[in-house]
Amino acid sequence: MLEASNNNELKPIPAKRYFTIGEVSDLCQVKPHVLRYWEQEFPQLHPIKRRGNRRYYQREDVMVIRQIRELLYDKGFTIGGARQQLEAEEQQDSGVNSQNVQLLISELEDIIRLLKN
């Protein structure tokens, strides 16, 4: 993902739990109406909505927005292409995670066998 340290033009993300749409707009240099549009186009982006339909983004949402911004503005992807790219990365990450889980399970089974002996 696109980290603030890797991109000199974006501000670092503060250590907060929730961000308003205005704060995210400032952090990612994207207008609020674009953020609202991206919510409809990218299923990975889902801010919490509270009283009066106010959006509150978490750090993970900000990271996804920065990644979407990079794909669209820096790499020249279309909305559909960026969506496919994010989905492919999610599938790749889940495949790696399931492999890690299987490896961990087999290692734990080996430890259990050693402890029983």
Q: CATH number, domain at 82?
A: 1.10.1660.10
Beta carbons within 8 Å of 114's beta carbon, 6+ residues apart: none
**pLDDT given at position 5:** 43
Query: What confidence tens digit (pLDDT) does each residue in 3-30 have?
Result: 444 445 788 989 889 999 999 999 999 9
The CB-side HSE value for 99 (13 A sphere, CA atoms) comes to: 6
Residue with token string 């080996």: 110
Considering only residues 2 and 12, tell me which one the structure prediction assigns the higher pLDDT: 12
Query: What confidence tens digit (pLDDT) does each residue in 51-92 have?
Result: 888 999 999 999 999 999 999 999 999 999 999 999 888 877
For residue 93, give the amino acid letter: D
**pLDDT given at position 2:** 44
pLDDT of residue 34 exceeding 90, the answer is: yes
- pLDDT band at residue 95 using 50, 70 and 90 as cut-offs: low
State the maximum Cα–Cα separation within the chain, in Å, rounded to a whole number.
Answer: 64
**pLDDT given at position 110:** 85
**pLDDT given at position 100:** 73
**pLDDT given at position 8:** 52
Q: How many domains does the chain have?
A: 1
Q: The domain containing residue 58 runs over which residues?
A: 4-116
Q: Quick check: pTM over 0.75?
A: no
Q: Is residue 9 within 8 Å of residue 29, measured between CB atoms? A: yes
Through-space distance between the first and last CA atoms of the chain, rounded to whole angstroms: 45
